[in-house]
């Protein structure tokens, strides 16, 4: 597995879920890169591209490039290699692409000394058991997460994206070195939006998550820096 890159001691990754680069940078300018990392997803990267990643890096932020690559092995290998060339801290693929695709992604980074963390999406936190049944899966969300996490570990990736609700079982199965990145995190009292399997930041860490992806609880606040500080303070108190 990849040696963890030094960065903020905070486990918080702020999701920059914006439609354009200007809005994302305006929010980033209100945050301290010593207190968090940031996530760039499909909408923002499609709108603003690599230049946005470079602008965030120039501001001192480490980047989780959340593009969930899912394609034939050769295409995913090239995409992961390109993400590494951008200097991102973490990049993800979709475990549903299968073993050969996952192994190709790992191989694409094998010769790099500065390789990013490579993780795989298991089951989107917007999906519940009923959604999986509609797609033809007999497994529950929890069972499918465990299956895909096992495949991910066997293929040599660094960890998975999962709900914090699945974290205890994954931690027990794969040990402390397997990185668990958890979206669906909401501060107590915040609306859950389109997420289904959600927990608070303190609950996420207690359940075994390594990193907490937090969006609206910070980006939707009138005082994003204050919201981030309050969440970090709450995590310290919980510990």
- What proportion of the chain, given as a percentage, has pLDDT over 90? 79
Does 194 qualify as catalytic in the annotation? no
Question: Was 73 annotated as part of a binding site?
Answer: yes
Asked if residue 30 has pLDDT above 80, the reply is yes
State the burial class of residue 237 (Cβ atoms within 10 Å of its Cβ: 0-12, 13-18, 19+): exposed
Question: Was 42 annotated as part of a binding site?
Answer: no
- Top-confidence range, 78-87, 155-164, 186-195: 78-87
Catalytic residue among 66, 115, 158, 210: 66
Q: How many CB atoms neighbour CB 12 within 10 A?
A: 21
**pTM to 2 decimal places:** 0.90
Question: Was 67 annotated as part of a binding site?
Answer: yes
Q: What's the pLDDT score for residue 3?
A: 40
Q: Which of 145, 179, 142 is nearest to 159 (CA)?
A: 179
Domains of the chain: 12-238 (3.20.20.70)
Q: What's the pLDDT score for residue 239?
A: 67
Tell me the pLDDT band of 184, cut-offs 50, 70 and 90.
Answer: confident
Q: What's the pLDDT score for residue 198?
A: 59
Question: Was 171 annotated as part of a binding site?
Answer: no
Tell me the pLDDT band of 188, cut-offs 50, 70 and 90.
Answer: low
Q: What is the mean pLDDT of the chain?
A: 91
3-state SS record for the chain: CCCCCCCCCCCEEEECCCCCHHHHHHHHCCCCCCCCEEEEEHHHHHHHCHHHHHHHHHCCCCEEEEEEECCCHHHHHHHHHHHHHCCCCEEEEEHHHCHHHHHHHHHHCCCCCCCCEEEEECCCCCCCHHHHHHCCCCCCHHHHHHHHHHHHHHHCCCEEECCHHHHHHHHHHHCCCCEEEECCECCCCCCCCCCCCCECHHHHHHCCCCEEEECHHHHCCCCHHHHHHHHHHHHHHHC
Tell me the pLDDT band of 190, cut-offs 50, 70 and 90.
Answer: low
Asked if residue 2 has pLDDT above 50, the reply is no
Does 190 qualify as catalytic in the annotation? no
Asked if residue 4 has pLDDT above 90, the reply is no
Asked if residue 196 has pLDDT above 60, the reply is no
Average pLDDT of the residues in 132-160: 95
Catalytic residue among 20, 32, 71, 111: 71
Does 71 qualify as catalytic in the annotation? yes
Q: What's the pLDDT score for residue 189?
A: 55
Q: What's the pLDDT score for residue 199?
A: 81
Catalytic residue among 20, 29, 42, 68: 68
Question: Was 92 annotated as part of a binding site?
Answer: no
Question: Was 71 annotated as part of a binding site?
Answer: yes
Question: Was 11 annotated as part of a binding site?
Answer: no
Average pLDDT of the residues in 67-88: 98
Question: Was 182 annotated as part of a binding site?
Answer: no
Asked if residue 139 has pLDDT above 70, the reply is yes
């Amino acid at each position: 597995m990849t040696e963890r890159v030094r960065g903020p001691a905070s486990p918080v990754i702020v999701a920059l879920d914006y439609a354009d680069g200007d809005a994302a940078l305006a929010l980033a300018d209100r945050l301290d890169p010593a207190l968090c990392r940031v996530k760039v997803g499909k909408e923002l990267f499609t709108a603003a591209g690599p230049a946005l990643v470079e602008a965030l890096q120039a501001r001192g932020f480490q980047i989780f490039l959340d593009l969930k690559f899912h394609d034939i092995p050769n295409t995913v290998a090239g995409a992961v290699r390109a993400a590494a060339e951008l200097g991102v801290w973490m990049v993800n693929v979709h475990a549903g692409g299968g073993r050969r695709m996952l192994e190709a992604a790992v191989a694409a980074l094998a010769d790099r000394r500065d390789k990013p963390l490579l993780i795989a999406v298991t089951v989107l936190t917007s999906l519940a058991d009923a959604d999986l049944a509609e797609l033809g899966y007999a497994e529950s969300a929890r069972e499918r997460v465990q299956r895909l996490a096992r495949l991910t570990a066997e293929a040599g990736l660094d960890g998975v994206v999962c709900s914090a609700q699945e974290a205890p079982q994954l931690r027990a199965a794969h040990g402390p070195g397997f990185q668990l990145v958890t979206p669906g995190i909401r501060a107590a009292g915040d609306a859950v939006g389109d997420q289904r399997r959600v927990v608070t930041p303190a609950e996420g860490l207690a359940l075994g998550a390594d990193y907490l992806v937090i969006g609206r609880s910070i980006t939707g606040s009138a005082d994003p820096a204050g919201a981030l500080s309050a969440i970090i303070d709450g995590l310290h108190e919980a510990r």
